[in-house]
């Protein structure tokens, strides 16, 4: 059974799909038995494609992109090994949805995996910004990927 990771942001059209495809790229490069997807805490974009600026940023930096937004559901906790929130608000909302302590223990902030992140662990929402904001989000995600890969490799060895 593959290790399952999901990324969660607000509407599932900017940050979480970007994190999904960047992390998926690295997982596939290493041939790890990991499934990667994403969702949002809100459902107003459910069924929509990723924001065109997310797609542009991914493609410009050598990543694939195919996405349909969806909302994270409370009964999904059992289906994931690791649930990655993109900011503190998502972390709190996911924790409030978690049915038990075991489920809450699966939730982590993405920037926890970046040793240079400091105290600011939020990935800012680029939606109301410009292309440079999307590039900044990509940089923050990429900085966390090595640490997240280490976490997943360790978990896979312990299985």
Q: Which of 9, 108, 114, 122 is catalytic?
A: 9
The confidence score (pLDDT) of residue 152 equals 98
Q: Does residue 159 carry a catalytic annotation?
A: no
* pLDDT reported for residue 81: 98
Q: Is 34 helix (H, G, I), strand (E, B) or coil?
A: strand
Helices 52-60 and 131-157 sit at what angle, rounded to 10 degrees? Answer: 70
pTM exceeding 0.85: yes
CA distances from 110 to 48, 130, 145 (A): 24, 22, 9
Give the pLDDT of the chain (159 residues) as one tens digit per residue: 999 999 999 999 999 999 999 999 999 999 999 999 999 999 999 999 999 999 999 999 999 999 999 999 999 999 999 999 999 999 999 999 999 999 999 999 999 999 999 999 999 999 999 999 999 999 999 999 999 999 999 999 999
Catalytic-residue membership of 125: yes
Give the pLDDT of residue 157: 96
Which of 104, 125, 133, 153 is catalytic? The answer is 125
Q: Judge whether 15 counts as a catalytic residue.
A: yes
Whether the Cβ atoms of residue 58 and residue 65 lie closer than 8 Å to each other: yes
Domain spans of the chain, in order of start: 3-157
3-157 in CATH: which number? 3.40.50.2300
Question: Which residue of the set 14, 15, 37, 138 is catalytic?
Answer: 15
Q: What is the pLDDT of residues 100-120, one digit of tens each?
A: 999 999 999 999 999 999 999
């Amino acid at each position: 059974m593959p290790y399952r990771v999901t990324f969660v942001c607000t509407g599932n059209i900017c940050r979480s799909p970007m994190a999904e495809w960047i992390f998926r790229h690295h997982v596939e490069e290493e041939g790890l038995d990991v499934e990667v997807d994403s969702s949002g805490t809100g459902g107003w974009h459910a069924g929509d494609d990723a924001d065109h600026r997310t797609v542009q940023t991914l493609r410009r930096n050598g990543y694939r992109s195919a996405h349909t937004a969806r909302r994270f559901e409370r009964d999904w906790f059992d289906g994931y090994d690791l649930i990655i929130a993109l900011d503190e608000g998502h972390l709190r909302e996911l924790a409030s949805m978690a049915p038990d302590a075991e489920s809450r223990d699966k939730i982590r902030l993405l920037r926890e995996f970046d040793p240079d992140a400091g105290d600011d662990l939020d990935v800012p929402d680029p939606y109301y910004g410009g292309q440079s904001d999307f590039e900044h989000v990509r940089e923050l995600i990429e900085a966390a990927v090595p640490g997240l890969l280490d976490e997943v490799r360790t978990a896979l060895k312990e299985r």
